[in-house]
Structure 1
Amino acid sequence: MKAWLNHAGDTINQWTFEEVETPTPGEGQAMIRVQAAALNPVDYKATKNPAWTYPHIPGVDLTGIVEQVGENVTEVEPGDRVAIHTNLQKNGAFAEYAVVDARALAKIPDAVSFTEAAAILCAGMTAYEAIVQKMNTTGKETILIHAGAGGVGGIGIQLAKRLGLSVATTASTENHDWVKKLGADLAIDYKKENVTEAIRNWTNGRGADLIFNTVGRDEATADFGRLAFSGQLAFIAGGPDQSVVKPFTLSPSVHEVALAAAYASEDDRAIRNLGHMANELLKLVAAKELDPLVTEEIPAADIVKGLQRLSERHVRGKIIATF
């Protein structure tokens, strides 16, 4: 089979696309004939891992058709159309065939394409875990979602609107029409505007009830200045410095969101929850209640070129590679 190979913790421009041996599934695993793979920031950021044996096949999101199953697999059978956010510790999605943990698989509804299903995995599941599973949205009114033009932010905006929340998001001016089309009530140009002042003005000085930070530690720390009393802050790219908050003043709740940690925990319920989240998102896509935000399809041979553009942080929605 053809696969992209990272030979020794190399940067993405040193990866090669070449022939390798086709894997076979072990106990609890399924072998998938890959049809589509989503490109994600983690793919170009996480190029080294002590758990990997090189050459390593990168990629964390794939969809395809079950070819074989190993022993004690009851979740799927050959011929099923499936989607999965894979284990970052193992060989991944950028190949014609992949072996995956069957517990985390989701079956793709007939009304959903392989490309659409690939787009809602890492990005959609991250947003779903943060906003639907971890945050308590009961009685809440406002949410700030950073980087709304990206995959995670774009799905997050749609999920938040489904929950009846008013949504503010950060995005460059050229993306304001895009994020408002997704449902954002307020778009803030983080390059030109003071985000904290904008949120305070939007909420009449109170601050946002909820904040979903997809940017990094420094911005997450700054979010404490944008948070309402007893508000909730979820983050994916570096936790905030909580020492900046004086005890018994703001009373915030802080949530770490890390899909890869489910596999690392080896907790059966956590791993199966990955499949559950994917299933719930696929139902929404099938019902036309969620736009998976596919903005570009590329051939598998162009994955590195796609990741290079993604790393420049000017891509709207999701780039999907097809096999």
Structure 2
Amino acid sequence: MKAYTINRYSKEDKLQLTEVPQPVAKENEVLIQVHSASINQLDAKLKSGEFKLLMPYKFPLILGHDVAGNITSIGSKVSRFKMGDEVFARPADFRIGTFAEYIAVKENDVALKPKNISMEQAASIPLVALTVWQAFVEKAELKKGQKVFIQAGSGGVGTIAIQLAKHLGATVATTTSANNFDLVKGLGADIVIDYKTQDFEPILKDYDLVLNSQDEKTLEKSLRILKSGGKVISTSGPPDMAFANKIRLSWFMKSIIFFLSKKVRKQAKKLNIDYSFLFMQTNGKQLSEIEKLIEAEVIHPVVDKVFLFEQINEAISYVSSGHAKGKVIVKVK
């Protein structure tokens, strides 16, 4: 089958189109013919080597963390799916590879595709929606009447986060550029701040939750807009010890993470704020809950551009530019 691979960590190298063996579904897996995949910042960061100490992948490596397609083969112990089912998924770490014509995914990581959206739209959902679900439902237990600040509201995570937060009954503040005000307001944002001309810190006060996806300076400012007892959940770091223990890092890596997170943990403790790092985990059951919200039209996918398979390097460059609104899709089939 055709797949795009990398043979080393590099910011400059392009993905190479190669022929690789087609995967075979193991007893608890389904083989998916990839119709569409989405490009995530995580793909660009893995490609450049940002996570090489935390996630030591082997080469050649097929990137790609989101898939929508049809099941063409099922393992002997698969019970929830059948041949021909339209599905979507975020494959588990170290089992990624959706920039290819086929991928084998564990049954527990897969959900049926929402019936009311296209394959391209479905491919935009898994990674970002699972990230938001695990932040708001699992970690924060976001409740009606609470106030949440979502950074970068027009991005892939932000567009879904705004919609889920509003569904849960929260008041939503977000940042974006003036060009995207209508987009985020249409998704449900109550307070919209132009990050190019405005500082959010003097505007926002006594918030219950911050979903942080930006740099260290923005994280420090975010701590100060929270009420005592508030929470900040960061998808951009620094990683915390709970994360290090969860993925069973070596004592050496745990010590590095301890020192990397020491400053923010100290600041959070002083302000009586709960800081935690979120690295999304695959979960087919949660994806099925998200499927229901999409079919009920509570959540609407936001797709910026769709590229052809042979344009995948252009797609990655576009995502890396930071100008994408919502998600960028690669149509494989």
Normalising by structure 2, report the TM-score: 0.86
SS at match of 1:95: coil
Contact map agreement 1:295 1:319 (CA 8 A) in 2: yes
Report how far residue 256 of structure 1 moved.
Answer: 2.4
Deviation at 1:316, TM superposition (A): 0.4
Provide the residue aligned with 1:257 in structure 2: 278
Aligned position for 1:217: 216
Which residue number in structure 2 is paired with residue 55 of structure 1?
60
Pick the aligned partner of 2:306 from 288, 293, 297: 297
Give 1:144-159 correspondences, 5 Å limit: 144-159=149-164
Equivalent residues of 2:3, 2:17 under 8 A apart: yes
Find the partner of 2:114 among 109, 125, 128. Answer: 109
Q: In 1, distance between residues paired with 2:215 and 2:287?
A: 25
Equivalent of 1:87, from 89, 92, 99? 92
Candidates 174, 180, 196, aligned match of 1:175: 180
SS where residue 185 of structure 2 aligns? Answer: helix
- 1:9 deviation in Å? 2.3
Q: Secondary structure at the match of 1:31?
A: strand
Match of residue 130 from structure 1: 135
> Relative to 1, partners in 2 of residues 1:164 and 1:91: Cα closer, same or farther, differing over 3 Å?
closer
Post-superposition shift, 1:14? 2.3
Q: What's the counterpart of residue 28 of structure 1?
A: 28
SS at the partner of 1:72? coil
Deviations along 1:202-224, whole A, 9 cap, x unmatched? xxxxx211111111333223211
Separation in structure 1 between the aligned mates of residue 16 and residue 200 of structure 2, nearest angstrom: 41
| Deviation, structure 1 residue 140 | 4.1
Partner of 1:306: 315
1:30-64 deviation digits (Å, cap 9, x = unpaired) = 21100110111001111244643321110000011
Partner SS, residue 14 of structure 1: coil
2:79 maps to 1:74:
yes
Q: Distance in 1 between matches of 2:269 and 2:106?
A: 44
Instruction: Give the letter aligned to residue 255 of structure 1.
Output: S
Kept after mapping to 1: 8 A contact 2:71/2:87 = yes
Corresponding residue number in structure 2 for 1:235: 234
Q: What is the aligned partner in structure 1 of residue 105 from structure 2?
A: 100
Q: What is aligned with 1:190?
A: 195
In the alignment, does 2:4 pair up with 1:4?
yes
Q: Distance in 2 between matches of 1:246 and 1:31?
A: 47
* Alpha carbons of structure 1 residues 131 and 82: separation in structure 2 relative to 1, 3 Å: same
Distance 1:283 1:71 in 2: 28
TM-score by length of 1: 0.88
Cα pair 1:140 1:209 within 8 Å, conserved: no
When residues 321 and 139 of structure 1 are mapped into structure 2, their CA distance, relative to the original with a 3 A threshold, is: closer
CA distance in 2, matches of 1:234, 1:191: 23
**CA deviation digits over 1:203-253, x for unaligned, max 9?**
xxxx21111111133322321111112111111110361212454xx3222
- Give the conservation status (yes or no) of the 8 Å contact 1:220–1:238: no
Please identify runs of 4+ aligned residues in structure 1 that moved more than 6 A: none
Count residues in correspondence.
Answer: 303
Q: CA deviation at 1:296?
A: 1.6
Shift in Å at residue 12 of structure 1?
A: 6.1
Helix, strand or coil for the counterpart of 2:122? Answer: helix
Cα distance change, pair 139–31 in 1 and its aligned pair in 2 (3 A): closer
Residue ranges of structure 2 left out of the alignment (5+ in a row): 239-260
Output the CA distance in 2 between the equivalents of 1:81 and 1:242.
Answer: 44
Aligned counterpart, 2:43: 43
Q: Given that residues 145 and 169 in structure 1 are in contact (C-alpha distance below 8 angstroms), is that contact kept between their aligned partners in structure 2? A: yes
Structure 2 counterpart of 1:243, one-letter code: K
Question: Which amino acid letter does the alignment assign opposite residue 81 of structure 2?
Answer: V
Instruction: Please name the residue that 1:267 is paired with.
Output: none
Deviates more, 1:11-20 or 1:103-112: 11-20
Contact 2:232 2:274 in 1 (8 A): yes
My pick for the range that moved more, 112-121 or 156-165, is 112-121
Change (3 A) 1:109 1:312: closer
State the Cα distance separating 1:139 from its structure 2 match: 5.5
Deviates most, 12-21 or 149-158: 12-21
Residue 11 (structure 1) shift: 3.3
Percent identity between the aligned chains? 30
The aligned counterpart of 2:291 is 282
Q: Letter of the aligned partner of 1:181 in structure 2? A: G
Q: Deviations over 1:260-308 (max 9, x none)?
A: xx4xxxxxxxx5xx11221111212222221110122111111111110
Return the offset for 1:111.
2.4
Backbone CA RMSD of aligned residues: 1.8
1:118-175 deviation digits (Å, cap 9, x = unpaired): 1111111111111122213236431110000101011101111111211110111221
Task: Report the 3-state secondary structure (helix = DSSP H, G, I; strand = E; otherwise coil) of the residue aligned with 1:184.
Answer: coil
Gaps of 5+ in 1: 201-206, 263-270
